[in-house]
Amino acid sequence: MTKTSLWVGICLCPLFAPCTHAEFIADSKAEITLRNFYFDRDYKKDPYPYTAARDWAQGLIFKGQSGYTEGTVGLGVDVLAMAGFNLLGHHADDYARSGLLQVNSDNTRDDYYGKIGVTAKAKYRQNELFVGDVVPLLPTIFSSPARLFPQTYRGVRFLSAEIPNLQLEGFYVDEVRQRDSTRYTDVGIDNINHRFDKAATTDHFYSIGGAYQFKNYRVRAYQAELQNIYQQQFFGFNGKQALNDQLNFLSDVRFFNSEDTGSRKVGNVDNQHLSGLFGLNYQNHTVSLGYMQAFGSTGLPFLSGTESPVVLDFMSSDYSNKDEKVYSIRYEYDFKDARMGGVSLNGLRFMTRYAKGEDIDLLSYGDQRFKEDSLEFDLGYRIPEGKLKGLGLRARFSHYRNDMPTNMVFHSTNETRLNVDYTFKF
């Protein structure tokens, strides 16, 4: 029996269970999100072999969640369906893949593509088990929302809230469906900027741990392992502390310890990564300072196709190279009580940030050290009330430069992303 047949069989089980109970129907919910996404990453230094990564797409995302049947153990089923439409037509074929649309071997895009995932679930008291397609949001396994669709993994998720303020969560996955793909492939790791000997896939990944919520702070700890590639421990805390009636102190600190394991499919993995973001919020203004540093003999490992799980999540680079030190400053303004003329600007937000990474050690370039920097702007508006309440518009721009060789993954770019999102809830 194949992996796919096994997971499909398990996910269909709840459909044949008695499900006429009131909770199964009454607690069900569904929503459809319309997401329009324009992505333009314009390469500025020795482009290869494309001048840009560019796509414009319309996405539809359907999420359906049943309630649970009655009884000691409740059963249910969830559905996640996604469809993406190419709005640039054949013009997109002249550009590198962006992660929005599925790309064929000859770099062409189809007019549309779609995928669906089904998840069986069971609940006992405050414990839930999910089997099938899962969308993790942990530091050790993260389904990135930075494109038209997130990655989905095929496997098992366990969630427990039996102890007040403590949430325990575990994942076991063996396949991933990447953001711009309809196919499941084995989980693995990319070799970004030649940080390891090579890229590789393997049979499974697991992560287990939990988060405890104090009054003002949340503390998290997780253990993870990508079979025969790396094992990883994570510890972090984040929160908001009021200093007076108008001034708040914000903090987010994350530490990863990673090392190779088993048959070492990608060779040596040895990284300790510390990142922190600290800010002051005064009325509508927030100013933050960030710092990251990598220790050890390799860069930070994380699952293929995802984003680096550090506090400084920039658009055009992951800033997670060997020995890299990163300095960052960030400013945000919330227009929640601002007006222009007689018009309220509630729902409008602005953010800008700058980061500089230095002392980058690329393993195949001896004693040379490299650097990179980003300047980003982010303007978003979400309608706060009325018939179009929740409609979101967002424009982002990144000016990214580095002095790394052109055979690295990240290139000097000017990047623009435009989004329009609206969700219908049923």
Query: Distance between CA atoms of 41 and 54, rounded to whole angstroms?
Result: 6
Cβ neighbourhood burial of 138 (10 Å; 0-12, 13-18, 19+): buried
What is the arithmetic mean of pLDDT over 99-119? 95
- Least confident window among 148-152, 218-222, 406-410: 406-410
What is the arithmetic mean of pLDDT over 348-370? 95
User: What is the reported pLDDT for 280?
Assistant: 99
With a cut of 60, say whether residue 317 has pLDDT above it.
yes
What is the arithmetic mean of pLDDT over 41-66? 91
pTM of the model: 0.92
Share of the chain above pLDDT 70, in %: 94
User: What is the reported pLDDT for 131?
Assistant: 98
With a cut of 90, say whether residue 261 has pLDDT above it.
yes
pLDDT level of residue 48 (50, 70, 90 thresholds) = low
Please compute, for residue 67, the number of CA atoms within 13 A of its CA located in the half-sphere on the CB side: 14
pLDDT level of residue 4 (50, 70, 90 thresholds) = low
pLDDT level of residue 47 (50, 70, 90 thresholds) = low
* CATH superfamily ID and name for 187-425: Porin (2.40.160.10)
- The amino acid present at 158, given as its one-letter code, is F
What is the arithmetic mean of pLDDT over 80-84? 98
262-292 in b/e form (b: 16+ CB < 10 A) is eebbbeebbbebbbbbebebeeeebebebbb
The mean pLDDT value of the chain amounts to 94
What is the arithmetic mean of pLDDT over 254-260? 98
Question: Nearest 10 degrees: CA dihedral of 234, 240, 243, 248?
Answer: 120
With a cut of 60, say whether residue 13 has pLDDT above it.
no
What is the arithmetic mean of pLDDT over 145-149? 95
Query: With contact defined as beta carbons under 8 Å apart, do 187 and 204 qualify?
Result: yes
What is the arithmetic mean of pLDDT over 14-42? 80
User: What is the reported pLDDT for 45?
Assistant: 80
User: What is the reported pLDDT for 348?
Assistant: 98
What is the arithmetic mean of pLDDT over 58-64? 98
Q: Which helix or strand (DSSP H or E) is residue 399 part of?
A: strand 392-402
User: What is the reported pLDDT for 343?
Assistant: 86
pLDDT level of residue 339 (50, 70, 90 thresholds) = confident
Query: With contact defined as beta carbons under 8 Å apart, do 114 and 82 qualify?
Result: yes
pLDDT level of residue 324 (50, 70, 90 thresholds) = very high
Q: Which residues are CB-neighbours of 110 under 8 A, at least 6 positions away?
A: 86, 101, 102, 104
In whole angstroms, how far apart are CA 382 and each of 31, 347, 419?
Answer: 18, 5, 11
- Least confident window among 76-85, 234-243, 307-316: 307-316
What is the arithmetic mean of pLDDT over 78-105? 95
User: What is the reported pLDDT for 6?
Assistant: 53
pLDDT level of residue 23 (50, 70, 90 thresholds) = confident
Residue 317: name the closest of 400, 249, 255, 254 by CA.
400
What is the arithmetic mean of pLDDT over 289-318? 95
With a cut of 90, say whether residue 305 has pLDDT above it.
yes
- The amino acid present at 200, given as its one-letter code, is A
Query: Distance between CA atoms of 87 and 85, rounded to whole angstroms?
Result: 6
User: What is the reported pLDDT for 158?
Assistant: 98
* Other Cβ atoms closer than 10 A to 295: 12
What is the arithmetic mean of pLDDT over 202-231? 98
User: What is the reported pLDDT for 356?
Assistant: 98
pLDDT level of residue 207 (50, 70, 90 thresholds) = very high
Q: Which residues are CB-neighbours of 349 under 8 A, at least 6 positions away?
A: 332, 333, 334, 335, 378, 379, 380, 381
pLDDT level of residue 1 (50, 70, 90 thresholds) = low
Cβ neighbourhood burial of 325 (10 Å; 0-12, 13-18, 19+): middle
* Three-state secondary structure readout of 321-387: CCCCEEEEEEEEEECCCCEECCEECCCEEEEEEEEEEEEECCHHHCCCCEEEEEEEEEEEEECCCCC
